[in-house]
Amino acid sequence: MTDQSTMDGWRTGGSQAHYKALVDSAAAAILVIDDQGIILDANPFTHTLLGYEQQQLIGQDVACLMPPEHRGKHGQYVENYLATGQPNVIGTGRRVNARHRDGRLIPIHLAVSEVWIDERREFIGIMSDLSALTHAQATVQHERNRLKTIIDAIGNPVFVRELGGQYALANRACLQAVGADHVSQLADAFGRALPDGMRDTLNALDHQLTVDGEPVHIDVTLRDGRTFKLAKTLIHHLAGEPYAIVTVAYDATPLLQAMQEAERANQAKSDFLSAMSHELRTPLNSVLGYAQLLLKSPTQMLADDQRQYVDHIHQSGRHLLALINDVLDLAKIEAGQTVLHLTWYPVSALINDAIQTLSPLAERQNVSLQNCLPTEQEGELYVDPTRFKQILINLLSNAVKYNHPQGRVWVDAHTHHDSLTMTVNDTGIGIADDQLDGLFEPFNRLVAEDSLIEGAGVGLAVTYQLVTQMQGEIRVASQQGKGSAFSVTFPYRAKPHSSEPLVAEASDANIRLTQPHRVLYIDQGSHQQRLVSDCFEDWPLLTLHHAHDFSLAEAMTHRLAPSLFIIHGNDLARMPAHWTCLVENKPLITLGAEGQAHCSAATPDIRLQQPVSSTALAAAIQSLLEDRE
Ligand code: ADP
């Protein structure tokens, strides 16, 4: 370390040795020239920088180190300075090019100072190499140009605003979007384009962004009606300090217009659906109802062949109704009109229900149907029970339909963390690998197209949509000629320790009656129809008759003398006054959504909530009919 006395010695003593060491070791070329521009001395670095040995330079005109265009002017600069005292580079320093011995131009910083030695004027020129700096600056400029070209090529508006409020950059799309020619016009252009108050909102958002650093997203509708989605992000200096905000905008107007179009189309589809649902189901229910009436009429009324024809009408009508229900279901799901009631529901109840529903079909097809769930699988699934049952029935009925006589269908399940995967396995015809892609496409029946097996190719499409809407997953593994396994996965929780009555009640959907009964179900077109008729498939002693209006129901009541009425809540409100006598002394169950108000002349004995569960319906029927046996 140099102490103060040494420094003073340096300055005042003017130690030659010190100065020489300093000049010789300097990383800058140092030249001494006289007032004619003749080089008097040069330090060693001059060789490093410009390629000349000291001896080669001494006595030369300094102009030899200048680029050709400046050479002639050097004498002029010196003359000018000597005459006017106005310096050009003297005492100031500037960035110039020096000429290397091999002819290359080297960017340097030149600082010239004037010294007087024994009444002689001399100049000392210090040349620092700027090659690395110039190269770095050129690289930065190149990157900058490249970035600008890229940003300009982006079709979305992009602009950068410094935290002080100055707009620093805007791409072509941004200038075009607000009708500006240059970034300097951006503030005014925004002022014209933005609606009142929006500027303040954006400023507040920018401020918020600088405080918490979290990227901001906002939709902005301009005065002319266009809507842009903006994403704002903070830009930081290398040192980490934020200094500007970059905003990338996206013109969402066409998308929003398309969405409005789609919503309008969706609405039209919904209107069409509800009209079709009524227009198709109502007459079909009439056909089925009157066909049922004819079939139940006293034997002598119809000849045997006529009875057979009516039976055909009834069978085909039922098939058509199932098909219409499937197609309307699919259309409703696709239109986003399916309302799900997700709840925790016992697994065993769900599976038993579905298996019982499918047992008659399996028996007819000579296929065994087994529930292979371990008994301890007593937990609950988070699903819409009605829709889950629909899913399971679709999978089970396919497993039975696409099977061989003496084939097997079994349901098993395994849990993994918080989910349960339930698999419907069959030993049926299987599906070829190249067919799997089309499996969930609506109306695609794969190879079954040409078979006699009933179906419309809609069940799996509905199943897939329902599973997805319930946040579940569906997978299939199949081997042609060997069989298939369809798996669905849903959230699962183990059985709660407190024994909830629902579990005990829900696991028993059996009806223990000893005599046959007719049940008349009046429902003009609610979603419960299929569920209710599915439930009755399990109860051989009960026959369900369905009427879609009160006039048909009246005829059926007189002809069939039902033991029990089930009426949908919506229809109960429309019950004609004289019906009070018809239902008098007969048990009545009503179905309705929670909180649905029933106002009618007749008072139900039991009200069941929607969606109807087979266990609740079984319990209600059992309690109302067992006393009458
Ligand atoms: P559908 O049974 O009414 O034709 P789905 O949508 O339920 O319609 O099924 C689509 C097609 O997938 C069926 O037509 C059948 O070719 C095939 N498929 C579905 N399940 C099975 C299965 N378990 N085994 C073999 N093929 C099946």
CA of 460 from ligand 1 middle (Å) equals 7
**What was the pLDDT predicted at 512?**
80
- Give the residue whose CA is nearest to atom 23 of ligand 1: 399
C-alpha torsion sign, points 257, 261, 262, 267: positive
Q: Is the pLDDT of residue 231 over 90?
A: yes
Whole-angstrom Cα Rg for the chain: 46
State if residue 409 touches ligand 1 by the CB under 6 angstroms criterion: no
Percent of the chain past pLDDT 70, that is, above it, reads 91
- Of the listed ranges 174-188, 331-345, 413-427, 470-484, the one predicted with least confidence: 331-345
Question: What are the tokens at 200?
Answer: 């303040």
Q: Which pLDDT score is estimated for 195?
A: 94
pLDDT band at 499 (very low <50, low <70, confident <90, very high): very low
Instruction: Decide whether any atom of ligand 1 lies within 6 Å of the 458 Cβ.
Output: yes
Confidence of residue 502 (pLDDT cuts 50, 70, 90): very low
Residue type, 581: C
- pLDDT band, very low/low/confident/very high, at 548 (cuts 50, 70, 90): confident
Query: Using 50, 70 and 90 to split pLDDT, how confident is the model at 376?
Result: low
Q: Is the pLDDT of residue 554 over 70?
A: yes
Average pLDDT over residues 386-414: 93
Identify the residue with better confidence: 77 or 585.
585
Residue 457 Cα to ligand 1 middle (Å): 7
Comparing 207-221, 268-282, 317-331, 491-505, the range with the smallest average pLDDT is 491-505
Tell me the C-alpha distance between 11 and 370, whole Å.
Answer: 107
Q: What is the pLDDT of residue 507?
A: 40
Whether the predicted pLDDT of 11 surpasses 60: no
- The answer, yes or no, to whether any atom of ligand 1 lies below 6 A from the CB of 485, is no
- Residue 428 in contact with ligand 1 by CB distance below 6 A: yes
Q: Whose CA is nearest to atom 25 of ligand 1?
A: 430
Joined tokens for residue 184 = 């300097």
- Taking the CA of residue 445 as reference, the ligand 1 atom at the shortest distance is 14
**DSSP codes joined into one string, 506-558:** HT------SS-EEEEEE-SS-THHHHHHHHHTT-TTEEEEEESSHHHHHHHHH
Q: How much is the pLDDT for 9?
A: 52
Place of tokens 């010695």: 9
Q: What is the DSSP secondary structure assignment for residue 437, as one 8-state letter?
A: G
Question: From the CA of 537, how far away is ligand 1's center (Å)?
Answer: 22
Q: How many CB atoms lie within 10 A of CB 460?
A: 24
> Could you give the CA distance from residue 286 to residue 293 in angstroms, rounded to a whole number?
10
Structure confidence at residue 543 as a pLDDT band (50, 70, 90): confident
What pLDDT was estimated at residue 2?
44
Q: Please classify residue 510 by burial: count the beta carbons closer than 10 Å to its beta carbon, then call 0-12 exposed, 13-18 middle and 19+ buried.
A: middle
Asked whether the beta carbons of 403 and 409 are under 8 A apart, the reply is: yes
Helices (H), 365-414: 385-401
- In this prediction, residues 262-277 reach a mean pLDDT of 77
pLDDT of amino acid 533 = 78
More confident residue, 481 or 455: 481
pLDDT surpasses 80 at 75: no
Average pLDDT over residues 562-571: 88
Instruction: Answer yes or no: are the C-beta atoms of 528 and 610 closer than 8 Å.
Output: yes
Rounded to the nearest angstrom, the distance between the alpha carbon of 473 and the centre of ligand 1 is: 18
**pLDDT the model gives residue 553:** 87
pLDDT in tens, 409-430: 999 999 888 899 999 999 999 9
- Neighbouring CB atoms inside 10 A of 562's CB total 21
Region 467-475: mean pLDDT is: 93
Which atom of ligand 1 has the smallest separation from the CA of 457? 8
Lowest mean pLDDT among 15-19, 115-119, 153-157, 360-364: 15-19
Per-residue pLDDT, 377: 63
Q: Greater confidence, 600 or 512?
A: 512
**Helix (H, G, I), strand (E, B), or coil: what is residue 11?**
helix
Read off the pLDDT of residues 45-54 as tens digits, 9 standing for 90 and up. 999 999 999 9
**pLDDT category, 4, cuts 50, 70, 90?**
low
| Cis-peptide, bond into residue 611, ω within 30° of zero | yes
Could you tell me which of 473, 478, 491 has the C-alpha nearest to residue 398?
478
pLDDT tens-digit readout, 296-306: 777 678 888 88
Contact 31, 125 (CB under 8 A): yes
Of ligand 1's atoms, which has the minimum distance to the CA of residue 460? 6
Of the spans 234-243, 256-265, 422-431, which averages the highest pLDDT? Answer: 422-431
pLDDT for position 230:
96
Pocket lining: 327 vs ligand 1, CB cutoff 6 Å:
no
> Of all atoms in ligand 1, which is nearest to the CA of residue 456?
3
Query: How far, in Å, are 123, 520, 524 from residue 331 at the CA level?
Result: 94, 29, 20
Mean pLDDT of the 208-229 span: 93
Band of pLDDT at residue 539, cut at 50, 70 and 90: confident
Mean pLDDT (the chain) is 85
Q: For residues 348 and 507, is the Cβ–Cβ distance under 8 A?
A: yes
Q: Which of 31-40, 497-506, 509-518 has the lowest mean pLDDT?
A: 497-506
504 pLDDT band, cuts 50/70/90, is very low
pLDDT of 319: 80
Does 611 sit in the ligand 1 pocket, CB within 6 Å? Answer: no
> For position 509, what pLDDT does the model report?
66
Q: CA-based diameter of the chain, in Å?
A: 150
Q: What is the mean pLDDT of residues 471-490?
A: 95
553 CB-near residues (< 8 Å, 6+ apart): 520, 522, 547
Q: State yes or no: pLDDT of 594 exceeds 70.
A: no
Q: Which residue has the higher pLDDT, 124 or 594?
A: 124
DSSP helix, strand, coil percent of the chain (3-state; round to 5): 45, 25, 30
Compute the distance from residue 310 Cα to the ligand 1 centre, in Å.
Answer: 30
Cβ–ligand 1 distance for 455 under 6 Å, the answer: yes
**What spatial distance separates the first Cα and last Cα of the chain, rounded to whole Å?**
117
174 closest CA partner among 159, 189, 191: 159
Please give the pLDDT value at position 125.
93
